Chain A
Amino acid sequence: MSPVLQGAATILIGVFGCIGYFYASNIILDRVLFPARGPKAGRNINRANQVRPWLFLFPAIFALGLYLVYPVVGSFYRSLFDRAGDDFIGLGNYIDLINEPTFRTAVFNNFLWILVVPAGSTFFGLAAAQLTDRLRWGNIAKSLIFMPMAISFVGASLIWKFVYANNADIGLINAAREALFGAEPLDVLQIPFWNNFFLMFILIWIQTGFAMVILSAALRGIPEETIEAAIIDGANPFQVFFRIKVPQIMGTIVVVWTTITILVLKVFDIVYTMTGGNFGTQILPSYMMGYMFRDNGRATAVAFVIMVIVLPVMVWNIVQARREQR
C-alpha cells in the first residue's frame, strides 16, 4: 500500500477511532455501567460524572505517559548499560563522556548557545516590537521579521549557507569583505570559537519573530496612564522605554527567554547541516545524534545530560503555572 493511501486510511481510522472511542465510552458509562434510572439514579449520575473525566483524559494520559514520561525513566535506565545493552556498567557511560574532549566542547558550546541565543532573540525581538509599534508600515515589518518562524531549521541553514559561503560570488559576507577591503574569501564557519556565533545567529534569526510577537502584545497591554504620567513628568523616550515599559513587561520577557532556552536545547539541525559538529562547533543534541544507532548507551547518557540541564527551567515553569492557577 502506498504511504499516501496508508496516510489517508490512518487519518480516517485515527479520527473515527478517536470519535468512536469517546462516543462509545460515554454511552457505555451512561447506559450500561451507571444508568440514570431506577432507585440508584442519583448516585449513578454522580458516579458517572466522577468517571467521565478519566474517559476524556485516558488517550492523552496514555500517549503522554508512553511517549514522554516513560522515556525519561527508560533513557536513564538504558544509559546505565553498555553499548549492546546487556551489561550493567553503572555510570560508566557518563564517566566516558566526561573524559571525552568533544563532549566537553559540546557542553561548553551548549552553555554558550543557552546564554547567547535567548538573549539575542529577546533583545532583537524587544527592539523590533518597540520600534515597529508606532510605524505606519509596522505590521508589514513585523510580518517579515516573523517569517523565518515558518522556515525549517534545515531550510534556514541552507539560506544562511548562501550568506556564509566561502566564495565571494556566493557568500554575502565574503562578497562584502572583497568589495570593502579586497580581502581573500574565508570560511567563517571554520574560525575557531567565533564560528559558534555564526551558527547561533541563524537560530536568533528564526526566533526573533517569536519574541517580537509576544513582547509586542505585552507592550500594547501596558496601561497608557503610566506612560502618560512619565511623559508629563518630563521623561524622554529612552527613559519611558527602559524605566517604565521594560519593568512592566519583565514577566513576559522571562517567559520568552525561558521558552527560547528550552528550544535551544532541542535544536540539532543547524549544527548538523552547517558543520556536522566539526571545527569545534559541536553541541549536545547533535553530539547525541552521532551516537544514535551506534551506541545507545552513550546516546541516552547524552540525552539525560540535556534533561538535567533543562530541569531547572522545567521546575520553574511548573512553579509559575501553579502560581497562576491560584
Chain B
Amino acid sequence: MDNIAGRKSHLTWAVNISVILMVLIWLIPTIGLLVSSFRDREQISETGWWLAPLPVEMTFRVRTSPEGAAQQNGLWVLEGNVFATPDMEEQLGDDDAELTRFGTRGVNPTEFAAGETAELRGGGTLTVNSDGSWRAESEEEFGPRGPTIYFAAEVPPQFTLTNYETVLTADGMDRAFINTLTVTVPATIIPILIAAFAAYALAWMEFPGRGLLIAAVVGLLVVPLQLALVPLLSLHTSVGIGQSFLGIWLAHTGFGLPLAIYLLRNYMVGLPRDIIESAKVDGATDFQVFTRIVLPLSFPALASFAIFQFLWTWNDLLVAKVFLPSDADSQVMTVKIADDLLGSRGGDWGILATAAFVSIAVPLLVFFTMQRYLVRGLLAGSVK
C-alpha cells in the first residue's frame, strides 16, 4: 500500500498536515486543562492558558497609610514601594514585577505611564516608578488615609500547586477519590469472576438453550441503564440495602455482566479445541479444564474487560448519583465535580481544572500503560 502515497509527495504532505491538525484538535483542550490547573488563580482570569509562559499584566490597588510622612523643604512627602506591601509580597513571592502604568482613580487605573507625575485629587502630586517605588508630595498634611495607588504591573508567570492543595484538602476531593476507588475495585473484580464461568459454559459446554442465552446476552448489551434505575433502587430499599456502597457494587456488577460475558465468550470460543478436548480425554473435569487451561489462556481478554469495567465504573456519574447517598461521605469524584464544584466553584477555573485533572489522572495512567489490552478488547468485542 506504500506505493500509493509514496510516489506523490504532495499527497503525503496533505496527509501529514491533516493528521497533525486532527491530533492538535484532539489534544489541545486537555492540555489547556492541565496547564490551567497549575496556574495562579488570579492569572487564569487575566490571560488565556495559551499565554501562560508569558508575563501577565495585572492591575492592583494599594492603599497607603500617611504614617511616616515627613516635611522636606516645606512640602509633606510620603514615600514607599507598592510591591513592598504584605499582599503584594504574598502574590509575587520571590519574583520581580515591573510596573507599567499607574493611576489615582479606580475608574482609570492605568492613566499614567511609570515615571510620570500625576495630580492627586486631594491636592499634591504622585510619582510612581517602574520598580514600584513611589513618592507623594503635598503642600498640606495628608489626611487620615494616604493616597490610593492603582497600578498595572507585568507579573512573571506563576505556576503553583496551590490549586491541588485546595482541591485535595479543603474541597473534599481526597475523600471523593477514596470513594471512587472503593466503588471501582470490587465493581471490577466481581463481575469478571461471575462472567468467566458463564462465558466458559456458553463457549465450551453443550446444553439446550445455549444459542438462545447467547442471543439474550447480546440483546442485554444494549438495554439502556435508565430503565434499571427506579425499579432497582426500590428493590434495594425494600431488601434493606438502600443507597450504599453494597448497592452500587451489585448494580455495577449487573450492568457490566453482558459485556463481560460477551467479550470473554468471544475470546474463549477461539481457543484451540485440541487442548481442551485432550484435557477432557485425560480425565479432566469441566471445572479443572476451566481453572487450569481456559482461565490462564484467557488472560488477555480478562485484562481487557477489567480495563473497560475499571474505566466505566471510575468515570460513571449516572449509577453513582442514583445508587449512592448524596452526602459528602460517599460522593464519588464525578458526582463531586458535577453537583458540588460546578455549583459552588462555578467561576473558579483553577479549582475546576484541578478537580477534573485529579479525576482523570488515574484513567489516563491506566489507558497509557494498558492501551494494548484495551485495543485488543475493543476488537474482540466489536468485530469478529
Assess whether B279 is interfacial by the CB under 8 Å rule.
no
Cα–Cα distance between A210 and B375 once the two chains are bound (Å): 9
Q: A53-B201, A288-B226, A299-B230 are in contact. Are A15 and B190 (CB under 8 A)?
A: yes
**Set of chain A residues within 8 Å of B379, measured between Cβ atoms:** 213-214, 217
Cα–Cα distance between A154 and B321 once the two chains are bound (Å): 13
Q: A3-B330, A63-B194, A131-B15 are in contact. Are A78 and B230 (CB under 8 A)?
A: yes
**Set of chain A residues within 8 Å of B337, measured between Cβ atoms:** 154-155, 158, 273
Assess whether B2 is interfacial by the CB under 8 Å rule.
yes
Chain B 351-370 interface mask (CB, 8 Å, partner A; 1/0): 01101100110011011100
Interface residues on B, range: 35 or more
Q: In the complex, what residue of chain A is closest to B321 when comparing beta carbons?
A: A289
* Residue contact A10 to B246, C-beta cutoff 8 Å: yes
* Residue contact A321 to B215, C-beta cutoff 8 Å: yes
When the two chains form the complex, which single residue of A64, A163, A321 contacts B32, counting CB atoms closer than 8 Å?
A163
When the two chains form the complex, which single residue of B193, B195, B338 contacts A269, counting CB atoms closer than 8 Å?
B338
**Set of chain B residues within 8 Å of A138, measured between Cβ atoms:** 19
* Residue contact B367 to A149, C-beta cutoff 8 Å: yes
* Residue contact B360 to A150, C-beta cutoff 8 Å: yes
Q: A135-B16, A158-B337, A162-B32 are in contact. Are A268 and B45 (CB under 8 A)?
A: no
* Residue contact B226 to A172, C-beta cutoff 8 Å: no
Assess whether B315 is interfacial by the CB under 8 Å rule.
yes
**Set of chain A residues within 8 Å of B170, measured between Cβ atoms:** none
* Residue contact A30 to B29, C-beta cutoff 8 Å: no
When the two chains form the complex, which single residue of B190, B202, B254, B353 contacts A67, counting CB atoms closer than 8 Å?
B254
Q: How close is A177's CB to chain B, nearest CB, in angstroms?
A: 12
Q: In the complex, what residue of chain A is closest to B32 when comparing beta carbons?
A: A162
**Set of chain A residues within 8 Å of B214, measured between Cβ atoms:** 321, 325
Q: By CB atoms of chain B within 10 A, which of A49, A149, A150, A165 has the most?
A: A150
Assess whether B169 is interfacial by the CB under 8 Å rule.
no
Q: A7-B182, A7-B185, A321-B218 are in contact. Are A152 and B314 (CB under 8 A)?
A: yes
Q: A265-B224, A269-B317 are in contact. Are A22 and B26 (CB under 8 A)?
A: no
Q: How close is A200's CB to chain B, nearest CB, in angstroms?
A: 15
* Residue contact B222 to A18, C-beta cutoff 8 Å: no
Q: In the complex, what residue of chain A is closest to B198 when comparing beta carbons?
A: A60
Q: In the complex, what residue of chain B is closest to A263 when comparing beta carbons?
A: B222
Assess whether B92 is interfacial by the CB under 8 Å rule.
no
Q: How close is A228's CB to chain B, nearest CB, in angstroms?
A: 9
When the two chains form the complex, which single residue of A208, A218, A224 contacts B1, counting CB atoms closer than 8 Å?
A224
Q: By CB atoms of chain A within 10 A, which of B50, B210, B378 has the most?
A: B378
Q: In the complex, what residue of chain A is closest to B218 when comparing beta carbons?
A: A321
Q: How close is A108's CB to chain B, nearest CB, in angstroms?
A: 18
Assess whether B164 is interfacial by the CB under 8 Å rule.
no
Q: How close is B249's CB to chain A, nearest CB, in angstroms?
A: 6
Q: In the complex, what residue of chain B is closest to A157 when comparing beta carbons?
A: B338
**Set of chain B residues within 8 Å of A172, measured between Cβ atoms:** 28-29, 32, 48, 50
* Residue contact A175 to B48, C-beta cutoff 8 Å: yes
Assess whether A102 is interfacial by the CB under 8 Å rule.
no
**Set of chain A residues within 8 Å of B349, measured between Cβ atoms:** 162, 165, 170
* Residue contact A144 to B27, C-beta cutoff 8 Å: yes
Q: How close is B109's CB to chain A, nearest CB, in angstroms?
A: 18
Main secondary structure of the interface of B (DSSP, over half): helix
* Residue contact B229 to A317, C-beta cutoff 8 Å: no
Assess whether B281 is interfacial by the CB under 8 Å rule.
no
Cα–Cα distance between A302 and B218 once the two chains are bound (Å): 23
**Set of chain B residues within 8 Å of A67, measured between Cβ atoms:** 228, 232, 250-251, 253-255, 257
Q: A52-B286, A147-B30 are in contact. Are A75 and B359 (CB under 8 A)?
A: no
* Residue contact A57 to B201, C-beta cutoff 8 Å: yes
When the two chains form the complex, which single residue of B45, B197, B206, B363 contacts A60, counting CB atoms closer than 8 Å?
B197
Q: How close is A142's CB to chain B, nearest CB, in angstroms?
A: 9
* Residue contact A64 to B220, C-beta cutoff 8 Å: yes
Cα–Cα distance between A169 and B47 once the two chains are bound (Å): 5
Q: A154-B338, A224-B1, A313-B222 are in contact. Are A60 and B245 (CB under 8 A)?
A: no
Cα–Cα distance between A151 and B361 once the two chains are bound (Å): 9
Assess whether B231 is interfacial by the CB under 8 Å rule.
yes
**Set of chain A residues within 8 Å of B206, measured between Cβ atoms:** 53
* Residue contact A18 to B194, C-beta cutoff 8 Å: yes
When the two chains form the complex, which single residue of A49, A68, A214 contacts B220, counting CB atoms closer than 8 Å?
A68
Q: How close is B362's CB to chain A, nearest CB, in angstroms?
A: 9
Assess whether A246 is interfacial by the CB under 8 Å rule.
no
**Set of chain A residues within 8 Å of B202, measured between Cβ atoms:** 57
* Residue contact A218 to B383, C-beta cutoff 8 Å: yes
Assess whether B384 is interfacial by the CB under 8 Å rule.
yes
**Set of chain A residues within 8 Å of B198, measured between Cβ atoms:** 56-57, 59-61
Assess whether B213 is interfacial by the CB under 8 Å rule.
yes
Cα–Cα distance between A161 and B194 once the two chains are bound (Å): 40
* Residue contact A213 to B1, C-beta cutoff 8 Å: no
Assess whether B382 is interfacial by the CB under 8 Å rule.
yes
Cα–Cα distance between A107 and B49 once the two chains are bound (Å): 38
Assess whether B108 is interfacial by the CB under 8 Å rule.
no
When the two chains form the complex, which single residue of B22, B211, B228, B384 contacts A128, counting CB atoms closer than 8 Å?
B22
When the two chains form the complex, which single residue of B47, B194, B334, B382 contacts A256, counting CB atoms closer than 8 Å?
B382
Assess whether A242 is interfacial by the CB under 8 Å rule.
no
Q: In the complex, what residue of chain A is closest to B44 when comparing beta carbons?
A: A170
Assess whether A71 is interfacial by the CB under 8 Å rule.
yes
**Set of chain A residues within 8 Å of B287, measured between Cβ atoms:** 22-23, 26
* Residue contact A64 to B246, C-beta cutoff 8 Å: no
* Residue contact B182 to A3, C-beta cutoff 8 Å: yes
**Set of chain A residues within 8 Å of B245, measured between Cβ atoms:** 3, 6-7, 10
Assess whether B285 is interfacial by the CB under 8 Å rule.
yes
| 6 residue pairs A–B, Cβ–Cβ below 8 Å | A10-B249, A52-B205, A205-B29, A237-B4, A269-B317, A314-B223
Nearest first, the 3 closest Cβ-Cβ pairs linking A and B are: A67-B254, A152-B315, A74-B231
Give 6 A-B pairs besides A10-B246, A150-B363, A159-B32 with Cβ atoms closer than 8 angstroms.
Answer: A60-B197, A68-B228, A138-B19, A172-B29, A262-B221, A269-B338
